[in-house]
Structure 1
Amino acid sequence: MALLPSKGVVISVPTLVLSVAAAATLLFFFLFTISSPSPPCSCPGPTKADSSIRTSERVSTSAEDIDWVKGLIEANGLHMQPNVLRKGINPRTRKQQLQDLLQYKGISHYEGEAASNHTALPCPGELLVEEHHSNYGEPWAGGRDIFEFLAEAARLTPNSKVLEIGCGTLRVGLHFIRYLDPEHYHCLERDELSLMAALRYELPSQGLLSKRPLIIRGEDMDFGKFGPDTTYELIYSSAVFLHMPDKLVWTGLERLAGRLKPIEGRIFVSHNTKFCSRLGGDECTKRLNSLGLEYRGKHVHDSLLFNHYEVWFEFRRFKA
């Protein structure tokens, strides 16, 4: 049987059926290709970070941090120029605060029987008004800056042990104590007032009593109370050796050499090493070598919290 179109073209029924079937098959494959998921790609792509791998936390300020602060200052229309500080509620100088503390025995304006009430461990008024923050001739906040430099330079971890020679009122030490594991910060300090400020004000005010730092009073470079087998990843002295007699500095270095961990341990001394250079010639190198120490170089640290840079001298123990 044949169909007769108006143009006179004859198309058989079987041919028409086959054409429709072929068109349906092509349409099926086209739709299947669109709806099917793509085959897995063998090319490299982003991978999910392994949560079990912990990256070390950065200690010091980064360039991005500084740029961020600059941007925020500019965005707020702030200017680096002399400004008159605006006083808060009940403004008083340190001197006026201290006078009130002494007059009212540190417990506000109570009188009579209430005037005999005291806290568990009364704090001296001089500490409460933070007079000890002015004992160094440099900003108190600079302690954080020194900590950042030393922690990065010595590649410390919270498990490291640190010894400070002359920690004063913990301007720098507070930051090490907070960063390190409990009992891992040690200090030798000679000044009684500084130690009182550290123990009675700074540690409690910063919530660091639980860190149990070992702070020893002494002025003869005797480290026996820190334990006979204690070794350190970092031993540092900030603006202390330059005020000590050369002979005492060398006595200290001789006693410290055995307490510094070989190779990775570091000693840092700030400002200058005149105790060494005054020997003349190669005598300093020879004397250091006799102690198992070697000079590693000078670091000029550009500070974020001072208006000047600091100079640090690095030493290490090259043999056990």
Structure 2
Amino acid sequence: MFRFKGISHYEGEEANNHTALPCLGELLVEEHHSNYGEPWAGGRDVFEFLAESIKLRPDARVLEIGCGTLRVGLHFIRYLIPEHYHCLERDELSLMAAFRYELPSQGLLHKRPLIVRGEDMDFNRFGSGIRYDLIYASAVFLHMPDKLVWVGLERLVTRLKPFEGRIFVSHNIKFCSRLGGEECTKRLTSLGLEYMGKHTHDSFLFNHYEIWFEFRRLKA
């Protein structure tokens, strides 16, 4: 018969035969669930919207720009096969919440998501030759200089599956609209991207909606 105890409660020789990943007190009381200005449960809504929009399959590859504490990412990680979820995140505390609390508490460490710290839109650390079915940024480009967003898009185009793959950006695309409609279209075309339209996603959980903008890669 197996007996399991909390790590801090093993006694004698067993006490030295177990390891714990240190977890900050604010993570244990889930303070990070309140950092989004809307319910944590809304992450499920976003996942279902994006997954349905591209008819996501478990063997698809997904890249999230700014996954934070995995409010949305947890649902992708759970659904996708191991190693198929990637994320670039700049905030250290958010990464700590993801690695030290969310993934272990949800039993998802075995899915081996690749989550990298960075704020320079450098995707080389995810390896070469990977083509994503979905790349999405939820309220992230709002907080970046326009120049950095365009640098990121230029680097992302070659990592997106041609024609079938999609980039989704939430809230607004002022990095593009500030250039003017015609100039924006020209710049997107020069990168090999096509604007596919705007979506309004209504939440089933609370009185809230989000605007999402869809792009695809034009060339193989």
TM-score, normalised on structure 2? 0.91
Alignment equivalent of 2:91, drawn from 191, 195, 200: 191
Following superposition of structure 1 onto structure 2, how do residues 208-223 of structure 1 map, counting pairs within 5 Å?
208-223=108-123
Following superposition of structure 1 onto structure 2, how do residues 146-161 of structure 1 map, counting pairs within 5 Å?
146-161=46-61
Task: Supply the distance in 1 between the matched residues of 2:115 and 2:206 (Cα, whole angstroms).
Answer: 27
Aligned match of 2:3 = none
Task: Supply the distance in 2 between the matched residues of 1:145 and 1:231 (Cα, whole angstroms).
Answer: 25
Aligned match of 2:159 = 259
Q: Give 1:318 shift.
A: 1.3
Task: Supply the distance in 2 between the matched residues of 1:319 and 1:107 (Cα, whole angstroms).
Answer: 53
2:30 is equivalent to residue 134 of structure 1: no
2:105 is equivalent to residue 205 of structure 1: yes
2:51 is equivalent to residue 165 of structure 1: no
Aligned match of 2:22 = 122
Which structure: greater strand fraction?
A: 2
Segments of structure 2 that go 5 or more residues without pairing to the other structure are 1-5, 9-17
Of the structure 1 ranges 277-286 and 160-169, higher mean CA displacement relative to structure 2 is found in 277-286
2:218 is equivalent to residue 309 of structure 1: no
Following superposition of structure 1 onto structure 2, how do residues 34-183 of structure 1 map, counting pairs within 5 Å?
120-183=20-83
Aligned match of 1:226 = 126
SS at match of 2:115: strand
Question: How big is each residue's C-alpha offset from its partner over 1:241-283, in whole Å with a ceiling of 9 and x where there is no partner?
Answer: 0111000000000000000000110000000000000001401
Structure 1 pair 281–144 and aligned structure 2 pair: CA distance change class (3 A): closer
Give the counterpart letter for 2:196 in structure 1: R
Q: Give 1:309 shift.
A: 1.1
Aligned match of 2:196 = 296
Q: Is the 8 A contact 2:7 2:19 kept in 1?
A: no
Identity %: 84
SS at match of 2:110: helix
Task: Supply the distance in 2 between the matched residues of 1:121 and 1:303 (Cα, whole angstroms).
Answer: 35
SS at match of 1:147: helix
Q: Give 1:107 shift.
A: 9.0
Provide the aligned length of Structure 1 versus Structure 2.
209
Rg larger for:
1
Q: Give 1:301 shift.
A: 0.9
Higher RCO (CA 8 Å, separation ≥ 6 residues): 2
SS at match of 2:76: helix
TM-score, normalised on structure 1? 0.63
Q: Give 1:154 shift.
A: 1.3
Task: Supply the distance in 1 between the matched residues of 2:219 and 2:63 (Cα, whole angstroms).
Answer: 20
Segments of structure 1 that go 5 or more residues without pairing to the other structure are 1-105, 109-117
Q: Which runs of 4+ in 1 moved over 6 A?
A: none
Task: Supply the distance in 1 between the matched residues of 2:39 and 2:139 (Cα, whole angstroms).
Answer: 14
SS at match of 1:242: helix
Task: Supply the distance in 2 between the matched residues of 1:281 and 1:263 (Cα, whole angstroms).
Answer: 22
Give the counterpart letter for 1:244 in structure 2: M
Q: Give 1:136 shift.
A: 1.0
2:144 is equivalent to residue 244 of structure 1: yes
The CA RMSD over aligned residues, in Å, is 1.9
Give the counterpart letter for 2:185 in structure 1: T
Q: Give 1:298 shift.
A: 0.3
